Structure 1
Amino acid sequence: MKVRKHIREEIGDSKFSILVDETCDVAKREQMALVLRFVDEDRILQERFFALIHVTNTKAATLKEVLSSLLSKHAFDVQNLRGQGYDGASNMRGEFNGLQALFLRECPYAYYVHCYAHRLQLALVSASKEVVTVAQFFQKLLFIVNTVDSSARRHDELRDAQLEELARLLAIDDIETGKGANQICTLKRPGDTRWGSHLGSISSLKKMFKAVNSVLQNIASDGSAGSIRADGDTAFNYLSSFEFIFVLCLMEEILEITEDLGQALQKKSQDIVNAMRLVCTTKVLLDEMRSDDGWEAFFDRVVEFCVNHSIDIPDLGETYIMCGGRARRQPDHFTKEHYLRVEVFRATLDTQLHELEFRFNDKVLDLLTTSATLIPKNKFRSFKADDICELVKKYYPADFTQQEIYGLEQQLKHFVVDASNDKELKNVSTLTNLCRYLFETGRHSIYNLIDRLLRLLLTLPVSTASAERAFSTLKIIKTRLRNTMEDDYLANSLLVKIESEITEKYSYEDVLMHFKGAKKRKANL
């Protein structure tokens, strides 16, 4: 009660956003986590876990009713809602009947921002669906992982094979040693809904390539069962083909480029304007990889890997024969180099660039892109006070009166001159730091309208990482041995655990005094 009261007082009458995500706990009960994002009085961006709600029906209307009831119970005004963040589930993001659409009908300024980390993940997954060779690669990858990971016996074989390979590398002094280095690993399964799982699966396979190769050969030669031998032989043929290795290296490099962006998007302090800057740098790196120089450097790395692992390298000048229906569309003089370079390498990168371009193109970004010109470190390139004021009229008419918009335009002009002459202010690179700096220097009272605009922009969510972290804590608190916990007790335990920073402010004496001051039960009167 004290922690929730503290969070409610932190928000006060400020504008806030909601981050919502769903998962099943160990008892197979559907749970919905609610996280509130806001800027507190000290201009610090906060994402506070507020509640865990058991929902028996995941329809958008039901979720809306449950969330509205909870917000109303704690005296939150839905009209102060300025953002919604979900992971992309259809019942939440639907434009007509989804949860975001239902809230928009009640509060038209509660802009929906699709979780950026999940958007990036969807962009990568879509590449595997658009490029046939890449789609087949992930099917083969999953088959290899399942074959090697089929039993405890295979686990032991894989472990022994890794130990033998490490012993060989140590004997020839081809590997560095040190505390925590050269740990025994396991293969990871790729999953579309688990961030970073594709990169983890590919990286683990490359790292354990020789050990996996050895285990598959043993399975293929095992005389115990014909079906198992067939799986081992098929998986071994996949693993030893040049095309599989080519796509393995390609997807690893693409995923490594986007991994830093994915991790950055999940930081609590990340503001949405800075997130867009990271998207732009990711597109630049992918475009550089697509160039002729990028192709040459990449292909050299693929050849080096194949040589080190005795994989046959085909003659790139030979004619490539497509299989199935694709052979009908095959042009004349279709070489293996053309197939790998154009049909696989460039096609995959083009899909990534296309998805990044269009999936990060919401109406909200119109306001955010223009607002980025407020950042002093950008040297106010393309800055126009009129444009910002017009966008404020368009997106936040309930937060600024016509007279205040005129005042905002004048404050923006003064702010540009002030920031251009302040050495410390010149180095501010994010909206989060700018909002904080104005408060620390007392300028927030002078530029009160700019301060209000910054707080609204920072309220917009970037990802649902905080809600997902709550589910990690859920697995710790509600285990197989404690699967009968009541909903209220579970939600309260999570709140105290996750918001331990607030919990530490209260002593046992505070709690005792609270109970002493409470009214006596009727039974004791």
Structure 2
Amino acid sequence: MERGHDESSSSLNRGNFIELVKVFAKMNVEIGEVVLDKAPQNATYTSPNVQKEILHIMANRVRQMIRDELGENCFCILVDEAQDESKREQMAIILRFVNNDGVIIERFFAIKSVSDTTSSNLKNEICDVLVRHDLQVKKIRGQGYDGASNMRGTWNGLQALFLKECPYAYYIHCFAHRLQLTLVSAAKDVICIWKFFSHLDNIVNIITSSPKRINALQTAQRREFEDMLASGERQSRSGINQIGNLQKSGSTRWSSHYESVKSLIDMYAATCKVLEYLIVHSPNGRSRAEVHGVYETIKSFEFVFSLHLMHKILGFSDILCQALQKKSQDIPTAIRFVSTTKGLLQEFRQDGWEEFLNAVKIFCLRNDVDIPDLNSFYKIGHPREEVTLEHHYHFNVFNEAIDFQLMELNTRFNELSVELLSLTVALDPQNSFESFNGDDICKLAKKFYPCDFSQQELHSLRFELKHYEYDVIRDPRFQVSSLSELCKLLVASRRSENCIVLTKLIPLVLTLPVSTTTTERAFSAMKHVKTAIRNRMEDEFLADCVMLYIEREFAKKIDIDSIIDEFYVVKARRTQLQ
């Protein structure tokens, strides 16, 4: 809550809380009489401390609801760190589990301020939160963090410390983060890609550096749309002729590079017109020279070629990126998306050159970009070594960029070959259960979850799988595309009552984390709560506000009368202690 500077009765702004109470008082006479008029001055309960106490009680109620929803099921912890508005390091803790209806759930559970980000201190802080809510470390069946050394370190990292207490708390490096690292590595290692993104950032920064330039870009874009609509080149359907702006890319914002490339392609002609205007009307020679250099770059064939190439490559991987950020995503589906993306890139490399080059040429002709003679010779490496310009763009730019992307995908996702992840594919229902393998499923349960299954259950699993193969796999109702959907169907159809051991194994696999995007959503909520004008908010109050902000579906279910009753109990207990 944002509090006013002056809460006296004569103040014009007494803060959000009291102003809301006054509004409700106008709509409800009882509130006006009881709370504002007749309440004793020492018991109005509108002070900052009382508000924080009530919010703390509500936040704890929400945490208890989440704890009740989890029950005795195993769970996974997702953890990440970020700075808040006051530059304090905050750690978000998310619980991932499968509820009793067979649905994958990811719940925000806590934010803790951590001045010391060593792995041992982070573990102590996480354990403190878990113990306080009766969550046992031995119930952890997955850990999801980024790739920082203090998190993923094999010997002293956070994941290693938890593995010492619970050897079945398997660590999975966030898939979405790995995909982002793939792009960053490729941009650093391939010279043409590095140059392209450097020029792209420069173009976007120049155009978006002032409101006047942004307005000029939108005006040019509007005129372009009007001309194209008049000539019939564009249709006038609702929603397809929106005026936009160039998007900046960021190293930590997933999909931002693709959005930046896509926005420049859509606004290429308008951007060029703005740069042409700035060359003539820039206030000084230095600025004019800078804009002129950027204009020459954007109008070059090499830049246009790289722009379209990255649009294609990032377009293939963006579908994967969006899929990895879904809360209900499971490991088998994520593995399949990675494999599909690599296949599409390989196919584009082998068969897409001619079509791609023609598309680039058409774009250049439409936007008055000079197309060089692709049959002319181009010097590479040693001065005597010459190839045609088309050969250079085909093999030294097109192929090399795709090859590095494929190489990075294979390197970053090489853990997919680890036995645990490869065995989970045997449960994948995709393509009519074509990956189903009873031996792999039994091996998965026996080797990786020995504490969750007795010898009798492992023996029963083999016979369950025989019935499962004849009953579930052959039933058209269970022909679904993901393991998470299958889990829900098994519970809804009550097949889980017959496949007891199997429906105990599937939630353990679904508990394995795919990405830590829910922690990023928590940090986004934190920025809404703790802003520049509310940057002195206490850490505990911040955690309570973020909890109620994110998990408001639970907050709506809280009985207000019970909150007031608990507040009085807490107040009475505190009075006795004093």
- Is TM > 0.5 for Structure 1 vs Structure 2? yes
Distance in 1, Cα, partners of 2:236 & 2:345: 33
Matched, 1:342 2:400: no
Residue of structure 2 equivalent to 1:436: 488
The equivalent position to 1:492 in structure 2, one of 532, 544, 561, is: 544
Distance in 2, Cα, partners of 1:237 & 1:363: 44
Matched, 1:474 2:533: no
Q: CA deviation at 1:382?
A: 5.2
Alpha-carbon distance change, 299 to 400 in structure 1, aligned in 2, over 3 angstroms: same
Q: CA deviation at 1:337?
A: 1.0
The equivalent position to 1:78 in structure 2, one of 137, 141, 149, is: 137
Q: CA deviation at 1:289?
A: 0.9
Q: CA deviation at 1:57?
A: 2.3
Residue of structure 1 equivalent to 2:300: 241
Matched, 1:23 2:82: yes
Residue of structure 2 equivalent to 1:258: 317
Q: CA deviation at 1:127?
A: 1.7
Residue of structure 1 equivalent to 2:379: 321
Q: Contact 1:111–1:364 (CA<8 Å) still a contact in 2?
A: no
Q: Contact 2:349–2:402 (CA<8 Å) still a contact in 1?
A: yes
Residue of structure 1 equivalent to 2:357: 299
Q: Which moved more, 1:466-475 or 1:244-253?
A: 466-475
Structure 1: 5+ residue stretches without partners:
none
Distance in 2, Cα, partners of 1:200 & 1:29: 30
TM, length-normalised to structure 2 = 0.85
Q: CA deviation at 1:500?
A: 1.6
Residue of structure 2 equivalent to 1:52: 111
- Map 1:120-269 → 2, pairs under 5 A: 120-222=179-281, 224-269=283-328
SS in 2 for 1:312: coil
Distance in 2, Cα, partners of 1:499 & 1:514: 21
Q: Which moved more, 1:271-280 or 1:440-449?
A: 440-449
The alignment yields a C-alpha RMSD, in angstroms, of 2.1
SS in 2 for 1:82: strand
Q: CA deviation at 1:238?
A: 0.9
SS in 1 for 2:374: coil
Alpha-carbon distance change, 139 to 363 in structure 1, aligned in 2, over 3 angstroms: closer
Alpha-carbon distance change, 237 to 513 in structure 1, aligned in 2, over 3 angstroms: same
Residue of structure 2 equivalent to 1:308: 366
Q: Contact 1:18–1:84 (CA<8 Å) still a contact in 2?
A: yes
Residue of structure 1 equivalent to 2:8: none
Structure 2: 5+ residue stretches without partners:
1-59
Matched, 1:369 2:422: yes
Larger radius of gyration: 2
Q: Contact 2:332–2:428 (CA<8 Å) still a contact in 1?
A: no
Q: What code does the residue aligned with 1:273 have?
A: P
Identity of aligned residues (%): 46
Matched, 1:4 2:58: no
Q: What code does the residue aligned with 1:479 have?
A: T
- Please give the per-residue CA displacement for 1:273-330, whole angstroms capped at 9, x wherever unaligned: 11111112212211221123x11111111111101101111111111124xxxx23x7
Distance in 1, Cα, partners of 2:222 & 2:574: 70
Q: Contact 2:426–2:438 (CA<8 Å) still a contact in 1?
A: no
Q: What code does the residue aligned with 1:460 have?
A: L
- Please give the per-residue CA displacement for 1:262-283, whole angstroms capped at 9, x wherever unaligned: 1111111111111111112212
- Map 1:105-120 → 2, pairs under 5 A: 105-120=164-179
Distance in 2, Cα, partners of 1:277 & 1:265: 11
Alpha-carbon distance change, 289 to 363 in structure 1, aligned in 2, over 3 angstroms: closer
Q: CA deviation at 1:394?
A: 2.3
Q: What code does the residue aligned with 1:316 have?
A: L
Q: CA deviation at 1:228?
A: 0.9
Q: What code does the residue aligned with 1:301 have?
A: A
Q: Contact 2:416–2:422 (CA<8 Å) still a contact in 1?
A: no
Distance in 1, Cα, partners of 2:423 & 2:223: 58
Q: Contact 2:69–2:99 (CA<8 Å) still a contact in 1?
A: yes
Distance in 2, Cα, partners of 1:105 & 1:11: 24
The equivalent position to 1:285 in structure 2, one of 337, 340, 344, is: 344
- Please give the per-residue CA displacement for 1:152-197, whole angstroms capped at 9, x wherever unaligned: 4433333333333333334433322344443332222221211111
Distance in 2, Cα, partners of 1:376 & 1:12: 27
Distance in 2, Cα, partners of 1:235 & 1:97: 48
Alpha-carbon distance change, 157 to 379 in structure 1, aligned in 2, over 3 angstroms: closer
Q: Contact 1:368–1:457 (CA<8 Å) still a contact in 2?
A: no
Q: Which moved more, 1:368-377 or 1:108-117?
A: 368-377
Distance in 2, Cα, partners of 1:167 & 1:382: 53
Q: Contact 2:104–2:510 (CA<8 Å) still a contact in 1?
A: yes
Distance in 2, Cα, partners of 1:125 & 1:522: 55
Alpha-carbon distance change, 331 to 253 in structure 1, aligned in 2, over 3 angstroms: farther
SS in 2 for 1:291: helix
Residue of structure 2 equivalent to 1:523: 575
Q: Contact 2:335–2:416 (CA<8 Å) still a contact in 1?
A: no
- Please give the per-residue CA displacement for 1:79-100, whole angstroms capped at 9, x wherever unaligned: 1111111233333223333222
TM, length-normalised to structure 1 = 0.93
How many residue pairs match? The answer is 518
Q: CA deviation at 1:517?
A: 5.2
The equivalent position to 1:397 in structure 2, one of 439, 450, 461, is: 450
Distance in 1, Cα, partners of 2:565 & 2:156: 47
Q: What code does the residue aligned with 2:368 have?
A: S
Q: What code does the residue aligned with 1:345 have?
A: F
Matched, 1:501 2:553: yes
Q: Contact 1:128–1:134 (CA<8 Å) still a contact in 2?
A: yes
Distance in 1, Cα, partners of 2:282 & 2:544: 56
Q: Contact 1:147–1:231 (CA<8 Å) still a contact in 2?
A: no
Distance in 2, Cα, partners of 1:162 & 1:58: 48
Q: CA deviation at 1:411?
A: 1.6
Alpha-carbon distance change, 146 to 450 in structure 1, aligned in 2, over 3 angstroms: same
- Please give the per-residue CA displacement for 1:87-118, whole angstroms capped at 9, x wherever unaligned: 33333223333222222222221111111112
Q: Contact 2:424–2:444 (CA<8 Å) still a contact in 1?
A: no
